[in-house]
């Protein structure tokens, strides 16, 4: 099947896949599809892994058992960072992770997850669904035989846990911090030492002093890890991850082999996960923050303006450097930044204006 399928065709059921799938409706309706799904998360990982479990159940239920999905956590079938290649090659039909894990394939992938000082979750969803991202996202993944979908969002993260206060940009110098990817590079260019390590190692590294600071996700997951036991300065906001989108990838041929109604069920289950994961993070982060605020020894505070300004300046410099050498990044970033400019104007007089009135301090 060579005809390019557009998202709206998929939603309206008018695409080439829908036509092909409807050629033998009786056979298509009685067939059971047994799929595998690999994820980048440990088993039942709160918020991220649990949302995928819910999604799989939804697909099985809505399809009346015509799609059965065997779910594999990170390392069970393939290691976390091999999910992309595994689904691309057809080893599994579905995968869940985050596009910024695939920076090694293309620098542009990270734009679909988040960029420092980028969009919040609502704005990012607007770009994904109605702001031009979807076609670019598909174009980027097309050579890999993958269909990508936004599938969940943690909402704005926290800036991280620090053993010592950050009062000026000088305090960043020599700071050993667990912060991966783009955010880590921003830290490095401001004199810090970014350290990459999986979530499971953060607590011990902070406890033993191997690192001085660490970002993870937000109150819900940070509390579960016990970060408050090993560092007592909790900074906000998560400037590097202001509303990162998770991602579901589907092997293109596997998706196209489904009849139209099952394609719709898979798509709608993914969209529903995109909503419910964010809702879960909002609710659980809020209740976890309430618990952390009761801990007298923990100081919750904003990064100094000077530090945020320096980090934002560095972010823009890095983006310009990548743009200069990567035309695809540049093309996708243009869509992102044009959208950000437009969306920011609306956010300013809607959410921002409303929230400013809600907080009088
Ligand atoms: Ca994070």
DSSP code per residue over 54-115? HHHHHHHHHTTTSEEEEEE-TTTSS-GGGHHHHHHTTSSSEEEE-GGGGTTT-GGGGGGT--
* CATH code 3.40.190.10 region(s) in the chain: 157-240+297-325
Tell me the CA–centroid distance for residue 100 and ligand 1, in Å.
Answer: 12
pLDDT at 13 > cutoff 50: no
Cα(126)–Cα(339) distance, integer angstroms: 9
Tell me the CA–centroid distance for residue 234 and ligand 1, in Å.
Answer: 14
Selected residue with higher pLDDT from 201 and 352: 352
Helical residues (DSSP H) of 179-259, grouped into ranges: 181-189, 199-208, 219-225, 252-256
Tell me the CA–centroid distance for residue 218 and ligand 1, in Å.
Answer: 8
Helical residues (DSSP H) of the chain, grouped into ranges: 7-12, 16-21, 25-30, 48-62, 83-88, 121-130, 133-141, 181-189, 199-208, 219-225, 252-256, 260-293, 305-325, 327-349, 351-358
Both tokens of 352, joined, read 């921002």
Tell me the CA–centroid distance for residue 273 and ligand 1, in Å.
Answer: 19
Report the chain's mean pLDDT, rounded to a whole number.
Answer: 92
Domain 157-240+297-325: which topology?
A: D-Maltodextrin-Binding Protein; domain 2 (3.40.190)
Tell me the CA–centroid distance for residue 214 and ligand 1, in Å.
Answer: 9
Tell me the CA–centroid distance for residue 254 and ligand 1, in Å.
Answer: 32
Tell me the CA–centroid distance for residue 105 and ligand 1, in Å.
Answer: 21
Tell me the CA–centroid distance for residue 238 and ligand 1, in Å.
Answer: 8
Contact by Cβ (8 Å): 313, 239: no
Tell me the CA–centroid distance for residue 207 and ligand 1, in Å.
Answer: 19
Both tokens of 17, joined, read 């896949």
The reported pLDDT for the residue numbered 8 is 47
3-class DSSP state of 247: strand
pLDDT by residue (tens digit) across 222-239?
999 999 999 999 999 999
Residue with structure tokens 């243009």?
334
**For the chain, what percent of residues have pLDDT higher than 70?**
92
Which of the four pLDDT bands, split at 50, 70 and 90, describes residue 43?
confident
Tell me the CA–centroid distance for residue 217 and ligand 1, in Å.
Answer: 4
Cα(264)–Cα(236) distance, integer angstroms: 39
Tell me the CA–centroid distance for residue 12 and ligand 1, in Å.
Answer: 36
Nearby residues of 116 by Cβ (< 8 Å), 6 or more positions away: 182, 183, 186, 239, 240, 241, 242, 311, 312, 315
Cα(163)–Cα(297) distance, integer angstroms: 12
Tell me the CA–centroid distance for residue 140 and ligand 1, in Å.
Answer: 24
pLDDT at 319 > cutoff 60: yes
- How many whole angstroms from its chain centre is CA 101? 9
* CATH code 3.40.190.170 region(s) in the chain: 33-153+243-283
Tell me the CA–centroid distance for residue 325 and ligand 1, in Å.
Answer: 27
Domain 33-153+243-283: which topology?
A: D-Maltodextrin-Binding Protein; domain 2 (3.40.190)
- Among the listed residues 309, 331, 302, 277, the one whose alpha carbon sits nearest the alpha carbon of residue 116: 309
Nearby residues of 47 by Cβ (< 8 Å), 6 or more positions away: 154, 217, 220, 221, 277, 280, 281, 284
Cα(240)–Cα(341) distance, integer angstroms: 18
Cα(29)–Cα(347) distance, integer angstroms: 45
pLDDT by residue (tens digit) across 266-314?
999 999 999 999 999 999 999 999 999 999 999 999 999 999 999 999 9
Surrounding residues of ion ligand 1, Cβ less than 5 A:
157, 241
Tell me the CA–centroid distance for residue 241 and ligand 1, in Å.
Answer: 6
The reported pLDDT for the residue numbered 27 is 57
Tell me the CA–centroid distance for residue 357 and ligand 1, in Å.
Answer: 29
Tell me the CA–centroid distance for residue 144 and ligand 1, in Å.
Answer: 26
Cα(7)–Cα(342) distance, integer angstroms: 23
Tell me the CA–centroid distance for residue 215 and ligand 1, in Å.
Answer: 6
Backbone angle region of 67, left / alpha / beta, with phi > 0 → left and psi within -120 to 50 → alpha = beta
Tell me the CA–centroid distance for residue 225 and ligand 1, in Å.
Answer: 13
Tell me the CA–centroid distance for residue 246 and ligand 1, in Å.
Answer: 12
> Would you give the DSSP letter of residue 350?
T
Element (H, E) at 250: strand 245-251
Which of the four pLDDT bands, split at 50, 70 and 90, describes residue 197?
confident
């Amino acid at each position: 099947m060579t005809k390019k399928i557009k998202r709206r065709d998929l939603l309206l059921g008018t695409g080439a896949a829908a036509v092909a799938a409807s050629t033998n409706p009786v056979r298509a309706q009685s067939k059971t599809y047994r799929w595998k799904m690999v994820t980048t998360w440990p088993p039942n990982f709160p918020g991220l892994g649990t949302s995928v479990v819910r999604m799989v159940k939804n697909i099985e239920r809505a399809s009346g058992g015509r799609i059965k999905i065997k779910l594999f956590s990170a390392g069970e079938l393939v290691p976390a960072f091999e999910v992309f290649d595994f689904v691309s090659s057809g080893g599994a039909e579905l995968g869940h992770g985050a596009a910024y894990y695939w920076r090694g394939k293309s620098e542009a992938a990270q734009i679909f997850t988040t960029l420092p000082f980028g969009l919040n979750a609502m704005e990012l969803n607007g770009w994904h669904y109605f702001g031009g991202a979807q076609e670019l996202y598909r174009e980027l993944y097309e050579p890999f035989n993958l269909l990508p979908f936004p599938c969940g969002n943690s909402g704005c993260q926290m800036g991280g846990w620090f053993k010592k206060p950050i009062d000026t940009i000088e305090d960043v110098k020599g700071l050993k911090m667990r912060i991966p990817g783009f955010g880590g590079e921003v830290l490095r260019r401001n004199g810090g030492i970014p350290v990459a390590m999986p979530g499971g190692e953060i607590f011990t590294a902070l406890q033993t002093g191997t690192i001085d600071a660490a970002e993870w996700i937000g109150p819900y997951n940070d509390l579960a890890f016990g970060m408050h036991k090993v560092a007592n300065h909790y900074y906000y906001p998560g400037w590097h991850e202001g509303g990162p989108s998770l991602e579901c990838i589907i092997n293109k041929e596997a998706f196209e082999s489904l009849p139209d109604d099952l394609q719709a069920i898979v798509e709608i289950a993914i969209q529903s996960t995109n909503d419910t994961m964010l809702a879960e993070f909002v609710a659980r982060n809020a209740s976890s923050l309430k618990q952390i605020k009761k801990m007298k020894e923990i100081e919750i505070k904003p990064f100094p303006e000077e530090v945020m300004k320096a980090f934002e300046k560095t972010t823009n410099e890095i983006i310009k450097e990548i743009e200069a050498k990567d035309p695809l990044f540049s093309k996708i970033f243009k869509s992102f930044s044009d959208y950000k400019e437009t969306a920011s104007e609306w956010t300013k007089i809607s959410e921002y204006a409303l929230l400013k009135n809600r907080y009088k301090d």
